[in-house]
């Protein structure tokens, strides 16, 4: 099991400290060796064949998910767009048009993190590196897995790979959707990065102030920038839990002083959604995330764990979506959780970014061991049926309550494929299902969903 | 094929004029011969075994569906409830408590329609009769169908029957959910009646006035009454379309003068959602409904057909849910569509009720021939896959846009099983699916969904 060893090493490294960007860069290079890279100097070659993309007008963006600060900004590619030609991996040549005085330069994930760069570039750099790292790890898991004879799985002998869709926004910004469909381990998996900017009108500023007290109010639209990484993995095996991750950075600038950041915050989290409860797995997931929090601020975990339970609650079912994890928003130097106690100083922006790097790096160590431990378990038709019923609940949460999804669906021109990438391949609804009754394995899960527990 | 003949006769009768209530009553008697009936005189016997209902606290109500006038009013059964004991088919004994001066008497669907009765009773009577009639017709279709060897279908030799859940609201009102799961023809089918009443607070009156101009505004809560029939049928065969129906009646009373109706209206409609377009089927469905409209008012069909196209539109997909049918709301003597032209008088309440009877009776003649014509066609895995993708869209529409579902989900204590009964058993989501491309059978449907057509 060379994967376990190699995976273990990667994980150990990531658990002990934020992933060094040089290692990441190496991984990135490997993954990009056979593909073209962003370039602003040469005219674009004809786009490669992309048979899985019926509409070549790949253009729009879903920064999506889970919070009011999220921006889904996307437009159809228009030929009227002007400015520097750029090309990106596997996508047709697109043109960048700047919206507020600066032409958009694609962020280079191979760059070493440089504290002299603005945070927007550093965070974009970080999420792109992490995306590559996670996609490669998941592909390694796929490659190492021999499906059971009973498993419904693609018959091809080549290990399943992510489909990588990179895009640039004509108005400025970029992103990439990495999606795996029909994997051996992952029935459907999406790992998305988006980097978008635009103008936030006065009404939007007012609305946003409700949840982000540090946001100033202007009578004119103010430039904003948002970048984030978003992941949803739906494994095939009912004994391997679904997992979700999202980390993001948001900032606004002075409308008349380009480059002067008026307000900024980080947000995000990660949560686990098993169909069958394995208590040790819930403990591992929670304690790995708790340890990452505790390295930075012992107030984080209890607050963010509770926030997660509250956010991923399905009121009409009176149950949680899963066993939780952590969720936070509006994390900045002046956040309530950073209010000075005992004469201590609030953390710097650098320290908060360090926390985001640590907690996002903890994703693989928190989740991959659970995959490796359970992926070879067999399952029955009834267990699959229960998994699909639970996926129905996942769909209900995402379509009815998730703020990012709702915002995305309501945004004209948003890239719907990216927004709804979080939905499972298959979901099931039964009327008055008898599954989940007390005293059964399914009932054990229901008990925890109805009354969230402390796992770490 | 005795079913076809017998079905044909039923349909012909229903198409030519509103179903005679005596015929209905006979059908109802047949269906009820072996089951207990509502009774207010004797104490309830112990409830029968109901293994499919894990929670015996069946109590709440989903008047559900498609419009702002809808009320989903439901509460947990409370032992403090006081008043006459009643029992209903297959449900534990429940107690009726009146909310506004009159004890609730279950509506008897076997009663002949009597114009001297208040409309609330007449409409409730009508939808209960129609429910019985439709359920029996669907069961007859199930009984006559021999599944193909390749069909995934229950192995039991007994023809599938609807599960009938009857309930009474402790606060007053009643309903019954008839659900078929795992049928041979219908993968999932729900035929629901609800009859509820309660008080509409001033804020609710104000909100409702936006869409119902005739609604008066009081500073105190006013009594309301709502009754309706709601149907969603998801066939197993991808060549048999999904269908939806909802017809309802709503009224409010003077808060101090019990029995004085201040405002009332009818609403509803029916629409067809094929996975594969058969133009003749769309034409039959539309023309049958159009004919029913035209008998009453030639302005109805063009207005209600367009309203349906508008209502069942999925903005984030830029496509309709299906090929439409008709949809109307707020239909009362003073509706805009009844504004006097050429000296004509607006229709009476009796005439509008007649229209509702005609149009709801047209459901089976509009749909059953399509089922009978297509149910024996074979299908491929790819056709099933496409059907499940289309069902994903159905889920998206119902969870994100349908006003009745949204209202139901937001109502604390609503009976979630009834509200979400409209969801298909299985739905599927693919990232950037190649299915539905131009020039394919799937693409033929997409063209019509993107640009609704006139079929009648």
pLDDT tens-digit series, residues A194-208? 888 888 888 888 888
The pairing of strands B313-314 and B261-273 is unpaired
What is the pLDDT confidence band of residue A26, given thresholds at 50, 70 and 90? very low
The confidence score (pLDDT) of residue B66 equals 26
Nearest to A429 among B54, B425, B431 (CB): B425
| Residue in A closest to B409 by C-alpha | A316
The confidence score (pLDDT) of residue B296 equals 97
For chain A, say whether B426 makes contact (Cβ under 8 Å): yes
Burial category of A395 from C-beta neighbours within 10 Å (exposed 0-12, middle 13-18, buried 19 and up): buried
d(CA B192, CA B135): 10
Whole-angstrom CA distances from B181 to A123, A262, B178, B296, B411 are 50, 57, 10, 37, 26
What is the pLDDT confidence band of residue A109, given thresholds at 50, 70 and 90? low
Nearby residues of B194 by Cβ (< 8 Å), 6 or more positions away: B61, B62, B63, B64, B173, B174, B175, B226, B227, B228, B230, B418
Inter-chain CB proximity A163 and B431 less than 8 Å = yes
Burial category of A297 from C-beta neighbours within 10 Å (exposed 0-12, middle 13-18, buried 19 and up): middle
| Residue in B closest to A178 by C-alpha | B431
Provide the 3-class DSSP secondary structure of residue B155: coil
Provide the 3-class DSSP secondary structure of residue B127: helix
pLDDT, greater one: A389 or A69:
A389
d(CA B405, CA B62): 9
Chain B residues with CB-CB distance to A434 below 8 A:
51-52, 54
Residue of B244, B286, B296, B338 with catalytic role: B244
The confidence score (pLDDT) of residue B167 equals 81
pLDDT, greater one: A72 or B301:
B301
HEC per residue, chain A: CHHHHHHHHHHHHHHHCCCCHHHHHHHHHHHHCCCCCCECCCCCCCCCCCCCCCCCCCCCCCCCCCCCCCCCCCCCCCCCCCCCEEECCCCCCEECCCCCCCCCCCCCCCCCCCCCCCHHHHHHHHHHHHHHHHHHHHHHHHHHCCCCCCCCCCCCCCCCCCEEEEEECCCCEEEEEEEEECCCCEEEEEEEEEEEEEEECHHHHHHHHCCCCCCCCCCCCEEEEEEEEEEEEEECCCCCCEEEEEEEEEEEECCCCCCCEEEEEEEEEEEEECCCCCHHHHHHHHHHHHHHHHCCCCCHHHHHHHHHHHHCEEHHHCEECCCEEEEEEEECCCCHHHCCCCCCCCCCHHHHHHHHHHHHHCHHHHHHHHHHHHCCCCCCHHHHHHHHHHHHHHHHHHHHCCHHHHHHHHCCCCCHHHHHHHCCCEEECCCCCCCCCCCCHHHHHHHHHHCCCCCC
Percent of chain A with pLDDT over 70: 73
The confidence score (pLDDT) of residue A19 equals 40
Nearest to B416 among A53, A190, A317 (CB): A317
Beta bridge partners of A331: A266
For chain A, say whether B428 makes contact (Cβ under 8 Å): yes
Give yes or no for a contact between B409 and A400, defined as CB atoms under 8 angstroms apart.
Answer: yes
Q: Which of A28-42, A112-126, A162-176, A436-450 has the highest mean pLDDT?
A: A436-450
Domain boundaries, chain A: 2-44+55-450
For chain A, say whether B427 makes contact (Cβ under 8 Å): yes
d(CA B22, CA B111): 9
For chain A, say whether B49 makes contact (Cβ under 8 Å): no
Chain A residues with CB-CB distance to B188 below 8 A:
429, 431
Average pLDDT for A407-435: 89
d(CA B209, CA A248): 42
CATH architecture of B2-43+58-147+161-450: 3-Layer(aba) Sandwich (3.40)
For chain B, say whether A391 makes contact (Cβ under 8 Å): no
pLDDT tens-digit series, residues A345-396? 899 999 999 999 999 999 999 999 999 999 999 999 999 999 999 999 999 9
The confidence score (pLDDT) of residue B196 equals 84
For chain B, say whether A392 makes contact (Cβ under 8 Å): yes
Residue with tokens 């079913």: B3
| CA A374 from centre of chain | 23
d(CA A404, CA A62): 9
Chain B residues with CB-CB distance to A401 below 8 A:
none
**Tokens, residue A59:** 């253009």
How many angstroms away from the CA of A239 is the closest CA of chain B? 20
| Residue in B closest to A189 by C-alpha | B431
A window 173-232, beta carbon within 8 A of B:
177, 179, 181, 188, 190
Give yes or no for a contact between A425 and B430, defined as CB atoms under 8 angstroms apart.
Answer: yes
Describe the crossing of helices A119-144 and A363-374 by its angle, rounded to 10 degrees.
10
Active site residue A239: no
Give yes or no for a contact between A196 and A226, defined as CB atoms under 8 angstroms apart.
Answer: yes
Chain B residues with CB-CB distance to A425 below 8 A:
428-430
This complex has an ipTM of 0.79
The confidence score (pLDDT) of residue A343 equals 77
Residue with tokens 């015996």: B56
Average pLDDT for A163-173: 79
* Nearest CA-CA partner of A135 in A193, A88, A175, A89: A193
The confidence score (pLDDT) of residue A154 equals 52
The pTM for the full model equals 0.80
| Residue in B closest to A408 by C-alpha | B316
DSSP 8-state assignment for residue B315? G
Nearest to A53 among B188, B396, B432 (CB): B432
Q: What are phi and psi of B23, to 5 degrees?
A: -60, -45
d(CA A121, CA A244): 24
Q: Which CATH number fits domain A2-44+55-450: 3.30.70.1450, 2.40.10.10, 3.40.50.720, 3.40.1500.10?
A: 3.40.1500.10
Residue A214 has pLDDT above 60, yes or no: yes
Residue of A244, A286, A296, A338 with catalytic role: A244
Inter-chain CB proximity B430 and A429 less than 8 Å = no
pLDDT, greater one: A107 or A419:
A419
The confidence score (pLDDT) of residue A205 equals 87
Inter-chain CB proximity A432 and B188 less than 8 Å = no
Inter-chain CB proximity B188 and A437 less than 8 Å = no
What is the pLDDT confidence band of residue A258, given thresholds at 50, 70 and 90? confident
Provide the 3-class DSSP secondary structure of residue B44: coil
**Tokens, residue B16:** 């030519």
Describe the crossing of helices B349-361 and B279-294 by its angle, rounded to 10 degrees.
160
Q: Which of A99-113, A134-148, A426-440 has the highest mean pLDDT?
A: A426-440
Question: Poorest-confidence range of A270-274, A329-333, B64-68, B94-98?
Answer: B64-68
| Residue in A closest to B430 by C-alpha | A425
Inter-chain CB proximity A432 and B392 less than 8 Å = no
The confidence score (pLDDT) of residue A107 equals 73
The confidence score (pLDDT) of residue B22 equals 32
The confidence score (pLDDT) of residue A239 equals 98
Beta bridge partners of B264: B251
d(CA B311, CA B238): 24
For chain B, say whether A428 makes contact (Cβ under 8 Å): yes
pLDDT, greater one: A122 or B150:
A122
Give yes or no for a contact between A231 and A133, defined as CB atoms under 8 angstroms apart.
Answer: no
Regions of chain B with pLDDT less than 70 = 1-106, 109-110, 148-156, 170-172, 413
């Amino acid at each position: 099991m060379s994967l376990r060893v190699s995976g273990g090493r990667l994980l150990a490294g990531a658990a002990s400290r934020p992933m060094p960007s040089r290692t990441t860069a190496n991984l990135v290079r490997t993954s990009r060796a056979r593909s073209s890279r962003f370039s602003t100097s040469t005219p674009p070659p004809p786009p490669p064949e992309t048979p899985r993309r019926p509409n070549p007008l790949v253009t729009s963006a879903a920064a999506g998910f889970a919070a009011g600060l999220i921006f889904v900004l996307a437009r159809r590619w228009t030929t009227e767009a002007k400015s520097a030609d750029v090309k990106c991996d596997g996508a047709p040549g697109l043109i960048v048009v700047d919206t507020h005085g600066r032409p958009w330069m694609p962020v280079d994930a191979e760059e070493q993190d440089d504290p002299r760069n603005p945070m927007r570039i550093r965070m974009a750099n970080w999420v792109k590196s992490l995306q590559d790292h996670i996609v490669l790890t998941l592909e390694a898991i796929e490659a190492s897995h021999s499906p059971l004879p009973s498993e419904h799985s693609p018959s091809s002998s080549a290990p399943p790979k992510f489909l990588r869709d990179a895009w640039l926004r004509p108005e400025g910004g970029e992103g990439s959707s990495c999606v795996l469909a029909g994997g051996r381990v992952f029935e459907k998996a999406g790992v998305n990065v988006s980097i978008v900017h635009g103008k936030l009108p006065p009404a939007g500023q007012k609305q946003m102030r409700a949840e982000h007290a540090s946001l100033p109010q202007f009578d004119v639209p103010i430039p904003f920038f948002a970048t984030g990484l978003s992941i949803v993995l739906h494994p095939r095996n009912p004994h391997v839990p679904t997992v979700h991750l999202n980390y993001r950075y948001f900032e606004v600038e002075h409308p008349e002083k380009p480059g002067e950041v008026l307000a900024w915050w980080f947000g995000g989290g990660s949560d686990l959604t098993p169909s069958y409860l394995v208590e040790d797995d819930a403990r591992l997931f929670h304690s790995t995330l708790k340890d990452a929090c505790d390295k930075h601020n012992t107030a984080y975990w209890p607050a963010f764990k509770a926030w997660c339970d509250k956010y991923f609650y399905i009121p009409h079912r009176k149950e949680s979506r899963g066993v939780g994890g952590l969720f936070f928003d509006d994390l900045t130097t002046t956040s309530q959780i950073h209010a000075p106690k005992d004469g201590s100083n609030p953390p710097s922006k650098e320290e908060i970014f360090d926390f985001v790097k640590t907690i996002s790096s903890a994703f693989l160590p928190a989740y991959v061991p659970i995959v490796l431990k359970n992926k070879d378990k067999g399952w029955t038709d009834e267990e699959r049926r229960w998994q699909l019923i639970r996926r129905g609940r996942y769909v209900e949460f995402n379509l009815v309550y998730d703020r990012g999804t709702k915002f995305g669906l309501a945004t004209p021109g948003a890239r719907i494929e990216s927004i709804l990438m979080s939905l499972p391949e298959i979901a099931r609804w039964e009327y008055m299902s008898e599954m989940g009754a007390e005293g059964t394995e399914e009932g054990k899960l229901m008990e925890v969903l109805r009354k969230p527990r402390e796992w770490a």
